[in-house]
Structure 1
């Protein structure tokens, strides 16, 4: 279905997108970041927190490392502000890159099992499907952030995969 090189390219894309996103978030006032915007996770900060939490929880599943704790409802409060969020975003992005770099093709053809707190049970799905979901989840929430940034009259990051720079 997919290869390790797909995951590596998506990890590069994730890093590029988040690098751009950080620049736009830093330019906003705390009020703009936390303003309720009617999004599923409320504000820009709430959505950015959930995106980071989702990346972190999936990485803990993929690499058996530390996870963020808490569940989906609390995910929008992962970090109180950008001073907490920015370094944690960098740490998780580095972890994603390291995981993708070390990912062998063979593992993608097998099953993947994790404990889902949302379902309160073990779930087994094809590993490739889980990896695709992981990267799709990022894109989904970055799209929401793009919309909310536009509402602030901010420019928003370039998100087209075809414009991913060779070096990120």
Structure 2
């Protein structure tokens, strides 16, 4: 049996849930690390789990701010390490994930065409995008850096979590409890 093809807005709502589910799994693993291991220098673009996960949160805040027209813009990046401890970072990421789910749940296909202004700084200025272009960019950014965090976890005593079994119907029974927690 095949799942019916849904509207594009429904796909973004599913992506927001996948994002939250993946973050929950990744953070569950990272929370077992000591604060020192979380901040320890590792090989990656952002050279620690601490820096990588803070970067994900800050970029999420930046794009979400633009999506909801909040006006903070680049000021969001004033502190490169907003949270030094994973135990403090996780509640902030979880709350933003909840806000993103609510935002995506409220979308319809017309709302995906709404103009979004993104402040790119004095050298570039304001860019016009659409909700339907910003959301996939945000999700791909998350996936990209979660993959780096996953690889960094492989260099610790903590097993990296499975992050790619969200959408297939056959995987549903294995993740039912976790998905219920996102509701």
Instruction: Determine which of 51, 56, 61 is the counterpart of 2:61.
Output: 56
Alpha-carbon deviation of 1:96? 0.6
Rg comparison, structure with higher value:
2
Are residue 78 (structure 1) and residue 87 (structure 2) matched? Answer: no
Contact kept? 1:71, 1:117, Cα under 8 Å: no
Contact 2:25 2:163 in 1 (8 A): no
Match of 1:9 in 2: 14
Find the residue that maps to 1:114 and give its secondary structure: strand
> Does the CA-based 8 Å contact 1:115-1:122 persist in structure 2?
yes
Gaps of 5+ in 1: none
The residue number in structure 1 matching 2:142 is: 138
How many equivalent pairs are there?
Answer: 165
- Indicate whether 1:125 and 2:129 are aligned: yes
Contact between 1:116 and 1:123, CA under 8 Å: does it hold in 2? Answer: yes
1:95 aligns with 2:99: yes
Aligned equivalent of 2:31, options 7, 26, 31 = 26
TM-score (norm 1): 0.86
Separation (CA, whole Å) in 1 of partners of 2:38 and 2:83? 12
Deviation sequence 1:91-135 (CA, Å, 0-9, x none): 111111111111121122354332223854001234322211111
Quick one: structure 1 residues 56 and 154, their matched pair in 2 at CA, closer, same or farther if it must change by over 3 Å? same
Cα distance per residue 1:34-86 (max 9 Å; x no partner)? 111132221001101001111111111111237583438x43x1212123212
| Residues in 1 aligned to 2:16 and 2:100: alpha-carbon distance in whole angstroms | 6
> Normalising to structure 2: TM-score of the pair?
0.80
Give the Cα separation in 2 of the matches to 1:118 and 1:137: 23
